[in-house]
Amino acid sequence: MKPFTVHRGRVAPLDRVNVDTDQIIPKQFLKRIEKTGFGQFLFNDWRFSNEGKKNPEFVLNEPRYEGATLLVAGKNFGCGSSREHAVWALADFGFRAVISSSFADIFSNNSTKNGFLTVVLREEEVAILMKRAFEIDDYQITVDLEKCEVRDDQGFRANFAIDSFVRHCLLNGLDDIGLTLQHAAEIDEFERLHPMPFASQA
């Protein structure tokens, strides 16, 4: 899993509240078992018409937000079903983090497991970032997990809270497998001292 330490990137504003996981990645695209390839379907029903043409009125289709790696969204982002594919789609599209005033718990947990950061700021702070992303061309911010801080070049600076264990895992790129492998030596020693009873017959 790729560590998240400090990231600076272009911001895309999604001025919508209660964005659920079916809007992030519609259910008809959940047929793959790999974590990659879902970015093309991100916000599919908003990005494309029924004929498959790009909707010019949707923010991510605007050329000025091409290549954005940070998403600023309305409150209660990631609500709905628990599909992990929602995080996979955001990450595969190129986003490294989402900033909002609140997230669904399951979405936040899925994000952590995939090295994807959810940043919770106050509503008024999110509103400032949203407004600047709409008004300033190539608006960029820095998300600093080492300092637990979000800042821009226009004087904005805000701190965010994050669970210390979650922060440790993200900073070091540790998913569940990575955490387990930190104890590989102890696991090997346990297996040496407790061999499988039928291993010799295999």
168 falls within a domain = yes
* Within-domain flag for 40: yes
The pLDDT value given to residue 1: 87
Residue type at position 163: D
For the chain, where are the alpha helices, taking DSSP H only?
21-24, 44-47, 85-93, 105-113, 123-135, 164-172, 176-181, 184-193
CATH label of the domain that carries residue 57: 3.20.19.10
Note the pLDDT of residue 183. Answer: 43
| Helix, strand, coil share of the chain (percent; to 5) | 40, 20, 40
- 104 within domain boundaries: yes
Q: What is the pLDDT of residue 202?
A: 45
Residue 202: inside a domain = no
One-letter amino acid of 130: M
How buried is residue 149: exposed, middle or buried, by Cβ count under 10 Å (0-12/13-18/19+)?
A: middle
pTM of the model: 0.86
Domain annotation covers residue 30: yes
End-to-end CA distance of the chain: 34
- Residue 175 belongs to domain spanning: 6-196
Please indicate, yes or no, if residue 120 is contained in any of the structural domains: yes
Residue 201 inside a domain? The answer is no
What pLDDT score does 33 carry?
78
Judge whether 69 lies within some domain: yes
Q: Could you state, in chain order, the average pLDDT of each consecutive group of 10 residues for the chain (202 residues)?
A: 95 98 94 88 95 94 97 97 94 98 96 95 98 98 98 98 95 70 53 60 46
Number of domains in the chain: 1
